[in-house]
Structure 1
Amino acid sequence: MKNTRILTLTALAVAGMMALTGCASQASADAGASPAATGAGTPATELRLGYFANVTHAPALIGLQEGLFEKELGDTTLTTQVFNAGPAAIEALSAGAIDATFIGPNPSINTFIQSQGASARIVAGVATGGAALVVRDGISSPADLAGATLASPQLGNTQDVALRSWLKDEGYSTDTTGGGDVHVTPTENAQTLTLFQQGQLDGAWLPEPWVSRLVVDAGAKVLVDEADLWKDGAFPTTVLLVRKDFLEEHPQTVEALVKGNLDAIAWIGDNPDTVGAEINKKLTADAGKGLSDAVLARALEHVTFSANPHAETFQQLVDNGLAAGTQKKGSIDGLFDLRILNGLLGADGQETVSADGLGED
């Protein structure tokens, strides 16, 4: 009996140790897993999503046009809001009016720094490329820009920062009130086209399709393709940004959104002959008018769609914003949470992406 009791106690002890080891192993696995994978939070009843009516936001346009987001979201209701540029979308995100948005990297950086990391996280990439400085006839080099008036979509947006930092590198001064050696006037994109056609603007740094609209419809020429300023031509134009609180409370819903983004990127790659027409349908619904075939074809040639947010470029983007005078100093450590994205990529046998030490991956 004594030996039996000893064996029984030993077995219980071993079982207990195995259980504790199992719990420790699970805790260790959960520590590096995405919030959705750990079962944290609950699905949201509603997802309020922002995006722009730009070709650089084509995965958003296709995801909505083809019902890809709604398919992944299931019972979660999807509502959307269209913005002209990033700072306006950040205002809505900060006010709790939207939960996530397709947006440029610089406004994402700004809100993270200003909130000391409390506002939002980048959960996926969307697009690279597709931005340029276009100018009127008579301007053929940076030296011809002295005294010129150039537009950008909005003060502090990604193209505004790119324009101001490039001008500084070329030896020109600018300020946020339109003064300086070159006058930068943030202007809504459609108004920029009109003003350029009227001769009231000398050029503009814009995203697609507005670059192509000014080239094809208004006779502008490209002075600077932003791709030429980055290693291998890869610079982020659009990322997917989610409110930090929403990500923590509803990781399953964020996973569905990220999956919809991946589905849309794949759809674009799989349907090269019809993607333009489908984008045009959504642009027509959002803006009341679509784009010409020539504009769409040119715009799509200059944009690459990928879920990689190119985190390795973000410190340079911070430096550009500081040089442009459009953002505060601060750390972007923690800006990225790519765990959900990488979980989906890994499950599909695709290569995962890096946060470059700036958050979770």
Structure 2
Amino acid sequence: MIVTTRRTIMTAALALAAALPLAGAATAAEKPKTVRITYVSSPFNVPSIVMRAKGYLDEAFAPFGIKVESPEITSGAQQVQAIAAGEVDIASVLGGSSAILGKANGADVKVIAAYSRNPEAYAILAAKGGPTSVAELKDKTVAGPKGTVLNQLLAAALAANGMTLNDVNYINMDLGAARAALLAGKVDAATLAGNNALAVEQAGGHVIVNGKGLFNPTTVIGVRGAFLEEHPDLVEAYLAAHRKALEFMAKEPEEALKLAAEEQKISLEDARRMNAWYDFTLKMTDEDVANLAADQDFMVEAGMLKKKIDIKADLIAPIAFQQ
């Protein structure tokens, strides 16, 4: 009887040993063949530019045998839509307001890190001879992307001058279209950022006001919640590539700025100027949470959002505070 028991145990052990490699193969097969990570270089996203130029993302996912696809989706709303549709796994540069709106409307999006804080990078501009103060924008036409941090900037600037969005004609346009409309004299002002703002200044235009002192936008990195849950190792691989880009920026600042200037088609001097506006620290802080909460309050007041979410519990993954 003892012999039979031993044989039974040995048989079971051999069966388990034989099954283990198969289980490992099944787990490996469950990894996606492709990871889709949005590429957003504007307004001045140096870490993303460095990651692409140096091949850090391909390098990070190569050990998994995974190919990286980088769809260029610049709109935060469209990135969230792509996440909700399962067409994108990681939104590399996502406006906080877009992340909040998406989550509140049922999109499976989670924030895994901060991307940047950059109030001075956002501005309201006019062409040569145009309005020079926010007060002069009353009853004027302003172009820019609605539902974004630039929308928030305009609202904050108007509020600081005793006005609301109802006091201007705000036309929804993406950055390039808004810049073109302003320079063509079709609108009185535009909410712009990055090289689009620089282009207006170089054409003789001027900044009416930027975001400093008006608001504190936090741009984030978002992922599909299911992707984070199923593949935390792949999320970490992405973050490792991002950290590598930050390390390169710290060790080789001039080379990083040259890469960014080439990508943005601007001068090295302009790249240095813009770089000073940004804080690219990955780790989320309580101040970032407060900034996102302020974004949410703005959207509720502006009628863009009907119900609030719990920013820290619903939107931000614990990993965001552990960078």
| The two structures share one fold, judged by TM-score above 0.5 | yes
The letter for the 2-side match of 1:96 is G
Offset of residue 138 of structure 1 = 4.3
Q: CA RMSD in A?
A: 2.3
1:141 is aligned to 2:133: yes
How many residues end up aligned between the 2 structures? 285
Unpaired stretches in structure 2, ≥5 consecutive residues: 1-26
Of 184, 197, 200, the residue aligned with 1:198 is 184
C-alpha offsets along residues 280-332 of structure 1, whole Å, 9 cap, x if unaligned? 4445xxxxxx2234433332222221113422311111011122322232213
1:210 is aligned to 2:191: no
Note if contact 1:196-1:218 (Cα within 8 Å) is conserved in structure 2.
no
**How far apart are the structure 2 equivalents of 1:226 and 1:42?**
45
Offset of residue 42 of structure 1 = 6.4
Note if contact 2:157-2:214 (Cα within 8 Å) is conserved in structure 1.
no
Residue 64 of structure 1 corresponds to: 52
The letter for the 1-side match of 2:277 is H
Residue 217 of structure 2 corresponds to: 235
Unpaired stretches in structure 1, ≥5 consecutive residues: 1-38, 175-179, 284-289, 346-361
Distance 1:191 1:273, change over 3 A: same
Note if contact 1:55-1:300 (Cα within 8 Å) is conserved in structure 2.
no
**How far apart are the structure 2 equivalents of 1:91 and 1:205?**
23
Deviates more, 1:274-283 or 1:71-80: 274-283
Residue 142 of structure 2 corresponds to: 150
Question: What's the secondary structure of 2:226's corresponding residue?
Answer: helix
The letter for the 1-side match of 2:36 is R
The letter for the 2-side match of 1:325 is G
Residue 122 of structure 1 corresponds to: 111
C-alpha offsets along residues 119-171 of structure 1, whole Å, 9 cap, x if unaligned? 1110011111121222233423221111121122x321222233234424533
Residue 316 of structure 1 corresponds to: 294
Note if contact 1:109-1:318 (Cα within 8 Å) is conserved in structure 2.
yes
Distance 1:270 1:131, change over 3 A: farther
**How far apart are the structure 2 equivalents of 1:341 and 1:173?**
35
**How far apart are the structure 1 equivalents of 2:241 and 2:180?**
35
Question: What's the secondary structure of 1:240's corresponding residue?
Answer: strand
Offset of residue 49 of structure 1 = 0.8
Question: What TM-score do you get using the length of structure 1 for normalisation?
Answer: 0.72
Note if contact 1:94-1:119 (Cα within 8 Å) is conserved in structure 2.
yes
- Identity of aligned pairs, percent? 21
Distance 1:338 1:61, change over 3 A: farther
**How far apart are the structure 1 equivalents of 2:142 and 2:55?**
38
Question: What TM-score do you get using the length of structure 2 for normalisation?
Answer: 0.80
**How far apart are the structure 1 equivalents of 2:196 and 2:254?**
22
**How far apart are the structure 2 equivalents of 1:291 and 1:139?**
26
The letter for the 2-side match of 1:297 is R
Residue 162 of structure 1 corresponds to: 153
